Amino acid sequence: QNGGKIWLVPEDGSQSPTVLGTCENDGSRACEQLAWSPDSLSLLWGAEQGAWLGVPGKTGLREVHNGRIQITDPHGNQSELPVVLTSFQWSPVGRYVLLEVKPVSSEVSWFGVLDTLMGRLIEVPDTFEFSTSASVCWLDNGRLLVAFGGDTAHGEHPVVKIYNLLATRDDLLYLQR
């Protein structure tokens, strides 16, 4: 929780434990969960300095995201914010990770999809914490399901949206029609 080395220990005891990487923090933010890729060949974790991907048996780590996002305010001014990336869920087809994005020192959060190959982090539409509560999960085919419960007392019906992922699109996600 507070940081340290990430050790790989062979299950059968055939090799000595090795250090895959280090999860560091400044004490105010915890190191986040570890998440194995669906093929069990890569390990992703979040730390103060972003998200890291390690591949056992290969040298070096790769920073997948630096833990900072660019936002544009209503006046068109750009700002950079540090964020914590948490609740990692790999797509069943690999490469993409569904996660929660939480700006440091803020009560707001939203869901995002991280492309572990290109390092792009995009927002899943309409999933801000203070907006209508959304449930987000992967489907077995690698599509992303976003469900909103609605409020029948106010005439709002439940809504389900299914997004396809396409690496060549700037926004990465497109709504299935």
Consecutive 10-residue averages of pLDDT for the chain (177 residues): 71 80 62 84 84 80 90 89 92 94 88 94 83 84 90 83 90 84
Q: Please give the Cα distance from 103 to 12 (Å, whole number).
A: 41
Answer yes or no: are the C-beta atoms of 85 and 32 closer than 8 Å.
yes
Please provide the size of the chain in residues. Answer: 177
pTM (2 d.p.): 0.84
Helix (H) or strand (E) holding 158, with range, is: none
Query: How far is Cα 126 from Cα 134, in angstroms, rounded to an integer?
Result: 8
pLDDT at residue number 2: 54
Distance separating alpha carbons of residues 12 and 159, to the nearest angstrom: 48
Burial class (CB in 10 A: 0-12, 13-18, 19+), 145: middle
